[in-house]
Structure 1
């Protein structure tokens, strides 16, 4: 979506940048206020190749995709990047699978993913300063508190441009 197509107010973006585990990953997430909630648009390139899981390892992809509670994208520990973003955004203290920050997984198409979805769990003004994070593994939407979605590959802070 081009900026010229976006409304002049009530929208925000998060510019995603890959960390040490996925340095070529980059993308953008748009959040747009619409009646009864928010429309979310994401476009990402540089996702790692899919690798099926085994009895001892998680798959790589589809990729967990979440809104996290803290607006921090500092790499910190290169083996556990972006941990400063803390847990999923969950203002109503719901169990995992129903957090406001639980988004659908991203499916890679040769490293590219594009998706849009609607949520009624927040408005744009509620999430300014939060972080968007892409994870290495798919979210299982059951494991508490964060869905067992693995290491953090990319991060971006939600802001008004």
Structure 2
């Protein structure tokens, strides 16, 4: 009996000495992109936040083969048939449109994804420039939308990269 009590005390002391890291909380958000502008484009996007890094993984189908712009827009509203209700590119820092990762670009300027001959495309991005539900208006992507465009983003034309019609849209909401 004495040995058993000592054993339980040792186990309890070991458990109590372990530190739990609560800073590595993971947040996961999956959205479905639906066709707009009479397209057949649809897909899914998964946003994951871990240790203050947001990862975005997009899988699309029904695209025309080639390059398509992908951006985060101002509002989680895809109700208009052409997705114009989503507003312009999300730009909380008031910078000119540009290429992802450059010093001068919108927070929503993700860039381009490339569809293969079957109309399928995938894209993965990691960034510390976004958060999911943190409340920081310059980083929080909740309440915005993710949009796939008909054409490539040229990274130069203002204010949106001349990427053409919005062919798939989803609100970034829980």
Tell me if both proteins adopt one fold, taking TM over 0.5 as the criterion: yes
CA contact (8 A) 1:12 1:128 kept: no
Distance in 2, matches of 1:43 and 1:68, equals 18
Q: Give unmatched runs, 5+ long, in structure 1.
A: 1-6, 51-60
The one of the two structures with greater contact order (alpha-carbon pairs below 8 A, sep at least 6) is: 1
Q: Which residue of 1 aligns with 2:93?
A: 92
Q: Which residue of 2 aligns with 1:25?
A: 41
CA contact (8 A) 2:89 2:109 kept: yes
1:73 to 48, 56, 78: 78
Q: Which residue of 2 aligns with 1:119?
A: 127
Q: Deviations over 1:16-71 (max 9, x none)?
A: 0112431x2211111111334211100111112x3xxxxxxxxxx40010000111
Q: Which residue of 2 aligns with 1:16?
A: 33
- More strand, by proportion: 2
CA contact (8 A) 2:37 2:83 kept: no
State the TM-score, normalized to the length of structure 2: 0.74
CA RMSD of aligned residues (A): 1.8
Q: Give unmatched runs, 5+ long, in structure 2.
A: 1-23, 99-104, 134-139
Larger radius of gyration: 2
Distance in 2, matches of 1:104 and 1:95, equals 14
- More helix, by proportion: 2
State the TM-score, normalized to the length of structure 1: 0.79
